[in-house]
Structure 1
Amino acid sequence: MSQPPLPVRVPLVTQPWGILKSLQMARRNILSIIPAIATKQPMVSGKTGKRWHMVMDPTAIREVLQDRLDNYPKAMVVKNLLKPAIGESLFIAEGAHWRWQRRTAAPVFSARNMLNLSPIMTAAAERSCDRITTAGPRAINMADEMVTTTFDVISDVTFSGDDSIDRDAVHVAIEDYIAQAGKISLFDILGFPDWVPRPDRIVSGKAVRQMKRLADTAIEARAKRGSNGTPDLLDLLLEGVDPKTKRQMNTAELRDNLLTFIVAGHETTALTLSWSLYLMGFDQAAQDKARAETQSVLQGRAATGDDVEHLPFIRQIIDEALRLYPPAGMLSRTAQVHDTLGGREIIPGDTVMIPIYALGRHEQLWDDPDAFKPERFADRKSIDRYAYLPFGDGPRICIGASFALQEAVIILATLLSRFKFTAVAGKNPEPVMILTLRPEGGVWLTAEPA
């Protein structure tokens, strides 16, 4: 009896590569440097310029992300790629500088504030439906459509009421930056200091300057004008105060964190939705089940924040898409002290990687790991907390996780209640990670009224 087909995946390495081959492959797709045995073993170590360890053992992962957080700060390669755009913001900062920013920003992402922002997500889902309907029966690249939709959301929750902001310019600047800045340099792999120029960062400099200029303009205008109705993300950040030190963010700190939320907030959710829709085109039975749930709950209207808890199968689809195609497919840390992880010696300067992509497909942690089975998330308690890390974990877990999940459920439920999506033959996307795990080639689907 033949096995059912599997959704697209990254071909993992079956033999060791030298440093130049590794660089070449990493610039094309970071995930292609993951050895296939990383889906079978609890830990894999090697040396490519520097000593490295890939950790897939949940206990050891907990030690890195939770128990010994300060011993494993984010790797310099990650900071070097992102610092020109987002400075010492929450995503990059370490120690006390990170802690006070996290305390200041945490209330911004409270459940109440997220629910207050949900009408913006509902409105964006409605506009997406309108565009899909207008496009008619032809094939649509739903990856592009989801980028448009989630940027709609993040720009409305950031710049609501500010007509002076050129949102298209912000979008273009962010896309230009992501396209260039994520390409790993040989200098990064070899551990060269940050002051050594990287060609791709020089190329992306114009986009960075444009992003910062637009963000500064928005912050200064809002500080003068004040809030305009329901507080949006920018209002909440402007009002934020660290409860411990009473410190508030200055304009540069606000700008860097705002850009972090804008870049991360629309890119990662767009990818989650794109891969979810690819999987719906791949598995029509799951799509039919999802549509039945959404139509029963929504009764023809768009989904709202209040509907999210009543759409469990939609959430399972999103969780499974995040397992198979995590937007952040790899976390990288640099060891600061001598340590032991999973029985292996770690020395200062070692790169410790958590390949989230391999973790989600690990044979010892998941049944039939390469298959699309959303029902595996029906019982969340049965899943090891450190076997499933689409948003990281520990004190540095993604601060916007609840925002992203609420948005993804609202948009996916609305689309599936209105349309039947069918995959276009011969148009499978290729999972490629530069900064994030994107469906290269697009997610091409036809949409007909459900």
Structure 2
Amino acid sequence: MSDAAVSDTTVPVQVPLAREPRGIWGSFLTARRNLLELIPELAIRQPMVSGRMGKRWHMVMDPEANRRILRDAVDDYPKSDVTKLILRPAIGESLFVAEGAHWRWQRRTAAPAFALRNIQNLGPVMTAAAERSAERLAAASGRAANVFDEMVTATFEVISDVTFSGDEGFDRSAVHDAIDNYIAQTARVSLLDILGAPMWVPRPNRMLATSALREMKRVADSAIDARRETGPRPVPDLLDLLLEGEDPKSQRRMTTAELRDNLLTFIVAGHETTALTLAWALYLCAFDQDVQARARAEAQVALGDRAATVADLPALPYIRQIVDETLRLYPPAAFLSRTAQKADQLCGREVRPGDTIMLPIYALHRNHLLWPDPHRFDPARFADPKAIDRFAYLPFGDGPRVCIGAAFALQEAVVILATLLARFRFTQVPGRTPKPVLILTLRPEGGVWLNIERA
């Protein structure tokens, strides 16, 4: 099979999964190119696949085993050493990386900021960004444009406005560039990771972006300290809410460094993943014009000629189904990794302490045992979300460590997607099919180029 993304005119683009073992060097080269190509093709037809490369590993695609890893025995399956090595330089011991008691107190402190009412209060920021995005796309009407770049712009505007709203001293461009540079240069798997080398062995590729990261952290620290002096905004943003946050058990509050690491986590996750979801959703709508036409009709009835608001969400169920199905086919966090701490059994197989436990979400969402015709784009799968096993569909993880910003991301995605589909018709550009490539997130290599016409 070719190393290019699988092309089939009847289904959206897929990743070519491995048909045979690649060995240590081959696995390293494959992981540097596209981590998803390490997944064996068997993984979309089996509940679990195991092997050894440096250390023992297991890929799990079984909902009950996922339930045990992510919820029932979550402390026995912390995030893998490789995950921590990649992310710590950028986001420290924040919610995404921390374990045990240090994670719990941060989660309790941050949770109120992501309460539904607070997320809904941030809706006007999303509506304003959707309107600006529509205006930029209107200027591109009649030609092809890279909608992934546009979705990155739109979602970074949102996350900037809901984290550091009105802070003139916060250099958004510098932070954005530092994040992009970090992902591109240092968030790739090292050969030492493949070999299972100890965490204390330096990975040279992760020492390249330190100056940009230091500057990004300095800028964020200054903005946080300035906000402590000036006090909260009239409409509290995420920084205000976290500054007010207090662990109800210990009464502990976050230090400037802890606030910064968590805010940078939310910035990275809060714009990159939503931008990817929107870009892939627009690609899928261009791929299936019938789906796009139905979604446009729904959006036009609900919105008329205005941008979507939070109040419109109940009138946009089909567009929400498109978002859900997009997250199934192209989950931004397409590969999770854990390290077993205790002896256990998963799917009837022995798990030993130190084994690497992989949850290839991309393969889980396309597993033939769980999804009928799994490669087909069919938003109707989500007409009744309760009919889907929650541990067969994990775009945001699950259990106590489920993504704290899931509701925020879904709200933003529906608001922006509905606004754009109501006003524009998107069609594919021949020869410009995006290639799904996983580095840190599942990105469309080469962008998502679509023709844009006014609806």
* TM-score bracket, shorter-length normalisation: over 0.9
Q: Which residue matches 1:78? A: 83
2:104 is the alignment partner of 1:125: no
Q: Which residue matches 2:434? A: 429
- Equivalent position amino acid for 1:399 in 2: I
Q: Which residue matches 2:285? A: 280
* Residues 186 and 207 in structure 2, CA contact (< 8 A), matched pair in contact too: no
RMSD: 0.9
Q: Describe the SS at the equivalent of 1:398.
A: coil
Matches within 5 A, 1:193-232: 193-232=198-237
Deviates more, 1:136-145 or 1:28-37: 136-145
How does the TM-score come out when normalised to structure 1? Answer: 0.98
- Equivalent position amino acid for 1:297 in 2: A
Between the aligned partners of 1:200 and 1:135, the Cα distance in structure 2 is: 38
Between the aligned partners of 1:136 and 1:416, the Cα distance in structure 2 is: 13
Cα-to-partner distance string for 1:213-265 (whole Å, 9 max, x where unaligned): 11111101111111121000110111100011100000110011010000110
Q: Which residue matches 2:307? A: 302
Q: Following TM superposition, by how much is the alpha carbon of 1:4 offset from its aligned partner in structure 2, in angstroms?
A: 6.2
Q: Following TM superposition, by how much is the alpha carbon of 1:181 offset from its aligned partner in structure 2, in angstroms?
A: 2.2
Deviates more, 1:273-282 or 1:161-170: 161-170
- Equivalent position amino acid for 2:312 in 1: D
* Residues 108 and 247 in structure 2, CA contact (< 8 A), matched pair in contact too: yes
Q: Which residue matches 2:119? A: 114
2:372 is the alignment partner of 1:338: no
2:387 is the alignment partner of 1:418: no
Q: Which residue matches 1:52? A: 57
Q: Describe the SS at the equivalent of 2:391.
A: helix
Q: Which residue matches 1:245? A: 250
Tell me which of 33, 36, 59 is aligned to 2:38: 33
Deviates more, 1:232-241 or 1:172-181: 172-181
Q: Which residue matches 2:3? A: none
Question: How many pairs align?
Answer: 448
How does the TM-score come out when normalised to structure 2? Answer: 0.97
Between the aligned partners of 1:210 and 1:5, the Cα distance in structure 2 is: 47
Tell me which of 83, 90, 95 is aligned to 1:90: 95
Q: Describe the SS at the equivalent of 2:184.
A: helix
* Residues 356 and 389 in structure 1, CA contact (< 8 A), matched pair in contact too: yes
Q: Describe the SS at the equivalent of 1:275.
A: helix
Q: Following TM superposition, by how much is the alpha carbon of 1:49 offset from its aligned partner in structure 2, in angstroms?
A: 1.0
2:378 is the alignment partner of 1:370: no
Matches within 5 A, 1:59-208: 59-208=64-213
Tell me which of 300, 307, 324 is aligned to 1:319: 324
- Equivalent position amino acid for 2:409 in 1: A
Q: Following TM superposition, by how much is the alpha carbon of 1:195 offset from its aligned partner in structure 2, in angstroms?
A: 2.6
Q: Describe the SS at the equivalent of 2:122.
A: helix
Between the aligned partners of 1:99 and 1:261, the Cα distance in structure 2 is: 17
Q: Which residue matches 1:356? A: 361
Between the aligned partners of 1:121 and 1:425, the Cα distance in structure 2 is: 32
- Equivalent position amino acid for 2:27 in 1: S
Between the aligned partners of 1:4 and 1:156, the Cα distance in structure 2 is: 40
Tell me which of 266, 270, 274 is aligned to 1:269: 274
* Residues 111 and 404 in structure 2, CA contact (< 8 A), matched pair in contact too: yes
Q: Following TM superposition, by how much is the alpha carbon of 1:434 offset from its aligned partner in structure 2, in angstroms?
A: 0.3
2:301 is the alignment partner of 1:292: no
Between the aligned partners of 2:74 and 2:84, the Cα distance in structure 1 is: 16
Q: Describe the SS at the equivalent of 1:8.
A: strand
* Residues 420 and 449 in structure 1, CA contact (< 8 A), matched pair in contact too: yes
Between the aligned partners of 1:218 and 1:192, the Cα distance in structure 2 is: 38
- Equivalent position amino acid for 2:206 in 1: R
* Residues 82 and 181 in structure 1, CA contact (< 8 A), matched pair in contact too: no
Cα-to-partner distance string for 1:31-90 (whole Å, 9 max, x where unaligned): 000000000011000011110000011001100000000100000000000001111100
Q: Percent same amino acid at aligned positions?
A: 66
Tell me which of 8, 26, 29 is aligned to 1:21: 26
* Residues 24 and 195 in structure 2, CA contact (< 8 A), matched pair in contact too: no
* Residues 30 and 37 in structure 2, CA contact (< 8 A), matched pair in contact too: yes
Between the aligned partners of 1:28 and 1:157, the Cα distance in structure 2 is: 34
Cα-to-partner distance string for 1:298-345 (whole Å, 9 max, x where unaligned): 111100011112210000000000000000111100000111111000
Between the aligned partners of 2:325 and 2:382, the Cα distance in structure 1 is: 7
Between the aligned partners of 2:198 and 2:20, the Cα distance in structure 1 is: 30
